[in-house]
Chains A and B, each alone.
Chain A
């Protein structure tokens, strides 16, 4: 099995990941290791640098007793000489038992999976999907809120190019939730994604940051998405102490990190802020994914 997209991922798989992640939490916390993937090798192919995600996968594999090979700078590999991704995959599958790929082009993980005889995990393909991030986000919510059904979400930021929010929305479609979407006018959630999930969950586009959410999920708005710097400036939003005080007492605030200005640093010490916990949960969740996929 591969993990390419959150779209069409089964509820059973999500449940299996959560169950397994729970058992790995102690190992991750105590920074020890188990033998579950001893003798197995993970190849991390990062065609686009992402220190955080790569470290998280490497740590997860080491905690499972496995080895890691890979690259994080495509400029030093044959990829920069124009080698096709399909060729690289056919070589790498000879050295490893599972591939994690991050690539700037959409569909790259799906293509890698097609040429690979070993499992492929998508760690972000352009603006398309980032399913492991969404799984750790959802896991964080289930751990911090003790439930997912019945919650109201506010998802804010660049919803057009934000692969994490695309994956998250598909996962949320498995639960009884309400989702409010807040984005700059030029960066809305793609309509086809809304169409695909809105039959199953309530989705509402909102024009301000709403305080009635149980989970506030903030994402970056990147300057390079705006041809006009003035447009960019007008599209910025910020979750500050004032807004946070208006939230429910048990509401939580999340962010896939790195953040720019979406969450003011003064919010960090508020008990509702859970983005550093969220980041920690990445290790047990990725351990669970690796151990479920690698046979």
Chain B
């Protein structure tokens, strides 16, 4: 059996197909997985690296998701939590696509308005506009309430 370098073993294995989300703000990795709807029932391997030293941001998080590529819409969701993230699509161990996420101005039909007394939950729709990207502030286009990141990801 070939000997694995202790360094690689401790960090994380490369993924064959899937997504690597880099430059996630320190401490936000779990929330990013949350908006992507990735939970314990996800079939692939998910690797989360936290507090990785970074030349740009001091410390950052990195997420590797085996067997799942992201849709354009999902990139916008990531931007809400981690506005500096870069999303790499991996095929056969190589990066075939690289995006820098962009904060959208409007998010429709993605996350419900956190106000339990908002009409949108009864009608099964949602539309939130981004009032401020950092720190995140969203306003429901219907009930007009304004939310921070913590309200959205409960």
Contact = CB atoms under 8 A, between A and B. Distances in A.
Contact of A84 (B122, B140, B143, B144): B122
Contacts, number: 59
B145 interface: yes
A107 B146 contact: no
A39 to B, nearest CB: 32
29 contacts: A5-B144, A85-B122, A86-B123, A104-B117, A105-B117, A105-B119, A105-B122, A105-B143, A106-B144, A106-B145, A107-B113, A107-B115, A107-B118, A107-B141, A107-B143, A108-B119, A108-B142, A110-B142, A110-B143, A110-B144, A111-B119, A111-B120, A111-B142, A125-B119, A126-B117, A129-B144, A190-B145, A192-B139, A192-B145
Contacts of B144: 5, 7, 106-107, 110, 128-129
Contact of A106 (B123, B125, B139, B142): B142
A126 B139 CA distance: 17
A208 B140 CA distance: 33
Nearest 3 interchain pairs by C-beta? A107-B142, A106-B143, A192-B146
Interface string B52-87: 000000000000000000000000000000000000
Contacts of B123: 84-86, 111
B116 to A, nearest CB: 10
Nearest to A86: B123
A103 interface: yes
A103 B119 contact: yes
Contacts of A190: 145-146
